[in-house]
Amino acid sequence: MHKVIAIYPGSFDPPTNGHLDLIERGSKIFDELVVAILRNPEKAPLFSVTERAAMLETLTKDYTNVRVDTFDGLTVDYAVKVSATCVLRGIRAVSDYEYELQMALMNRKLRPDLETVFMMPADKYSYLSSRLVREVAQLGGSIQGLVPELVDQSLHARLDPAYKLRDLVVEEAKLLKRKPKPRKKS
């Protein structure tokens, strides 16, 4: 019997427990699962592709049939390159459905033999997105339980110095604005 290889493409900036939930489910139904990080030069990411790949490699090291890779260009071309016959995508809410359906049908038009497989995460992760995690973390909110410990630490390491620097700049600006009081003439 031939091996079924699937790719799981995305930005993973940063990887969340929702992504990991899907990776675990995918690893159970596919012989091989390639987590494929999109190298998107237009987006200014929080973590570089290398950093995201390192995080995902550590987080998936216990799955023997999961590997991490990066790609650019068309997803369908990348799928052919790694001999994948399936694309794994996550559906969180109805809002995901419209875009995902469009993309799946476009990919089918480009490559009819490539199947898109949708999986749902555990409901506790169904509202979770990398964008939301970034926004909450940037504003100092807790993201405990939503991302793996490793990602939480990386977010702190990335954002804390930026916040300290911002606070310093604000303080300095305040000091500079404070005009010296005119001296009374005696």
Site for ligand ADP contains 24 (CB under 6 A): no
Beta strand 66-71 pairing with 5-10: unpaired
How many CB atoms are closer than 10 A to CB 54? 15
- Give the residue with the Cβ less far from ligand ADP, 131 or 156: 131
Is there a catalytic annotation at residue 92? yes
Residues of span 95-134 touching ligand ADP by CB under 6 A: 96, 121, 125, 128-131
Contact pick of 18, 20, 27, 147 for ligand ADP (by CB under 6 A): 18
Sheet order of strands, 5-10 included: 66-71, 32-38, 5-10, 86-90, 115-119
- Of 48, 46, 69, nearest to 57 by C-alpha is 69
Asked if 34 touches ligand ADP (CB under 6 A), the answer is: no
6, 7, 19, 56: residue in contact with ligand ADP (rule CB under 6 A): 19
**Applying CB under 6 A, does 92 fall inside the site for ligand ADP?**
yes
DSSP class of 72: -
Any idea which residues carry the catalytic annotation? Answer: 19, 43, 92, 130
